[in-house]
Structure 1
């Protein structure tokens, strides 16, 4: 894959053979974010889980203390007095059955997170085929299926992110923007890592964290020492 000059210059900053500590890794990820926009700093965590087994799945959510730097649009499926509650909490879109054709037939996806009250999951379930592949399906483990829509919306707006294994048993999550201070990125990263270590399935044998890599949107990967987090 051909890379641009900016990437080549940024890549020179990183020693691919070195496992950095958190502070140095974050400093390098920030320094190598040289695009003209405010790049996202992401963590990519390769685990020793085998996600094909139900007892080795990881899925949860954590509120990053300094948020992600991204403005998140929230859609809430609710009815009755929960509609007004969701609107008062600051949800961007609130509705029910009438939203199904808009999403299914018109391809409307102007939202980043979907929250639903339990009594609406029968309706939302009909959208499984379109929301599922996009990672938008509400889930109790992530706190997005709940009667407490005020807390759900407030947490997401405050910087709550969801983490889960992909098909290759890697967790990919944003921890902030390149414009964040190193201290804020470190706070967010430590909060995330603590949550993931705590979520380790008891069925996992051997090394739990195989590798931990930080990267900016357009920059090279910076490998951290995974042993430091266990």
Structure 2
């Protein structure tokens, strides 16, 4: 196990690992615990009472964070004809077809999100082994296979994040940067919380969200009192 640095020990000292903090306290603490020299990313981790072995309990989707992610993503769009022009006008970083697929096959990966129109999936399909493991394969469930490339690019540039359950029923999502003010982090956390809540599978019985933790890149996990997120202070 890696040794903690002095800064990490100091950050851990201000967080009680056995306490469940309310929304305001948790967001304040996660900022205080982010002491690295770079602008740390803040993530939320949900542990859900689901069994991903069953298709109807596999969560996957996307939502736009109201305060953005703090990072401008490079968007690659596979499109042709007038849709190619639309993607360029919307601000896509790279737009094209087979020539981009060939570059990717040769190892080029200078992009964060891939969007494709349905008629280009035959070209994109052969990239599954490369894009799939990295979570970059276009998928209609998260809005990255679409004819509305303008909307897709605008949402991604505006702070759209994807979420997906892992094998243990966990969902990890970026909610911003340590440099964000507390209100922006709370807005983003509430947005993803409500999205995950609405995505609750009908077959799930009893408690749905077992735990919710937020943390910065180098900071300790901070456990939230889920009831304070479900009904935040006015």
- Give TM class, smaller chain: over 0.9
Aligned to 1:30: 31
1:147 matched to 2:147? The reply is: yes
Match in the other structure for 1:186: 186
Asked if the contact 2:22–2:229 (Cα under 8 Å) also holds between the matched residues in 1, the reply is: no
- Determine the structure 2 residue equivalent to 1:84: 85
Contact 2:23–2:229, Cα closer than 8 Å, also in 1: no
The equivalent residue for 1:65 is 66
- 2:42 corresponds in structure 1 to 41
Match of 2:112 in 1: 112
Q: Give the alignment's Cα RMSD to 1 decimal.
A: 1.0
Is the 2:48–2:211 Cα contact (8 Å) retained in structure 1?
yes
The Cα shift of 1:227 comes to: 4.1
Q: Distance in 2 between matches of 1:57 and 1:205?
A: 15
For residues 8-57 of structure 1, what are the alpha-carbon distances to aligned partners after superposition, in whole Å with 9 as ceiling and x for unaligned?
Answer: 00000100111111111111000000000000110011111111110001
4+ long deviations beyond 6 Å: none
1:19 is aligned to: 20
- Native 8 Å contact 1:33 1:219 kept in 2: yes
Q: Give the Cα separation in 2 of the matches to 1:168 and 1:6.
A: 31
What does residue 225 of structure 2 align with?
225
Q: CA deviation at 1:71?
A: 1.4
2:98 aligned counterpart, secondary structure:
coil
Q: Deviations over 1:141-173 (max 9, x none)?
A: 111110000000001111011111122211111
Query: Are the equivalent residues in 1 in contact too, given 2:77–2:116 (CA < 8 A)?
Result: yes
Q: Distance in 2 between matches of 1:206 and 1:3?
A: 38
* Alpha-carbon distance, 1:132 to partner: 0.6
C-alpha contact (below 8 Å) 1:209/1:227 kept by paired residues? no
* Alpha-carbon distance, 1:228 to partner: 4.2
Shift of the 228–203 alpha-carbon distance from structure 1 to 2, 3 Å rule, reads: farther
1:99, CA displacement in angstroms?
1.7
The answer on whether the counterparts of 1:60 and 1:162 sit within 8 Å (CA) in structure 2 is yes
Measure, in 2, the Cα distance between the counterparts of 1:229 and 1:5. Answer: 31
Q: In the comparison of the two structures, how many residue pairs are matched?
A: 229
Matched residue SS, 1:34: coil
Question: CA contact under 8 A between 2:117 and 2:145: conserved in structure 1?
Answer: yes
**Equivalent position SS for 2:76:** strand
DSSP-derived class of the 1:23 partner: helix
